[in-house]
Chains A and B, each alone.
Chain A
């Protein structure tokens, strides 16, 4: 196999691994996809090790010492569209239906999203409002929640735009939800369930998927990446709770002043 082609295999595999971890794919999926891509090349002794924050792969060519590549991954958000597209490319490579040149080009051109940011914001808003209904909110709760949920969505959008760290984003939006819900309960002459409104607003943020995927990884025997995910979900939960505490303090101060 010509050297040019081997380099392309390595580049495609590295890119696939990096994108998959950034999309919060499970550890086994990253390892298997990279194995599949490299399996179509003439490399021998392929080893892949995917962690939640990095991954390594090692390949060997006949009569050559093994070479190891490492990628460090810092940002991770669930992105099902990318997982879906990378799966198509890696299937194509291992079935032999697309050439490695074409595969590398496709991999480079993978887009982040099928939806505009406005569509995603509206979907987030809709999700918050529907969760309130699912958790037995009343119609009054629903109406009061519309402005509060819109504010949370705006905060999420602003934090994304100014590249604010994930944990801090959770803290800020949770504080805002707690303050608004409590003030609405105190100032407006209606009966609302403050607890439910707060929970519905933080539902898009809660680390349930990370927690569940962590337990799944542990079940499969990927202890290291499993525990990393559990710790991640604990940290996210901690910052959401800290945001709640800060919000409650603000509410207390404001109601004294009122």
Chain B
């Protein structure tokens, strides 16, 4: 049971944090159509977090709002990658591309999870995640083939910066073996291997190169976070914390 909760928590926390980060572009994305698309993807992510927290509630945890808004940063199990500030749009797009390809593979495998509510959920939302990946890949191919030196340089720099964090997505959580043994999930190593193949094949269609010998930035799955997470959580819950008993 603890292993299952661990899996659900890391996925829910990833979705909530990336959803909030992507939502920070609402109103200020570089073009209106992109504003709408990025915001919709953010909304999907928040919806996924909500469903996963509901699943945890069914297993005896607090309700979704409490889990999402009222825990402190050191209780979160998201990878550090998702909590980094949005930066310029180049970074946000590179993160979207790297992170969502991992999500897509994760959900494809989760469709066979032994925890039936999770399997059902994965089968239901796979189409949403598919669109997220189509969107991320399309931009990566476009900007990764930029006609200007500045454009290419910026994308390459963001890829170099983001890649070690992206490898941290696959950090094992303490119960990794049990998660696999119980059939909840195929495990991070399998996802990482398939993810590398996908990322390589998309990058091969651009003028960019993947950094070599990158060391994963880990810690998130063990509750270790950058200072950015607590700042974000504070902003996210500022209204609710004024009076948590208010009915919305």
Whether A and B are associated in the same complex: the answer reads: no
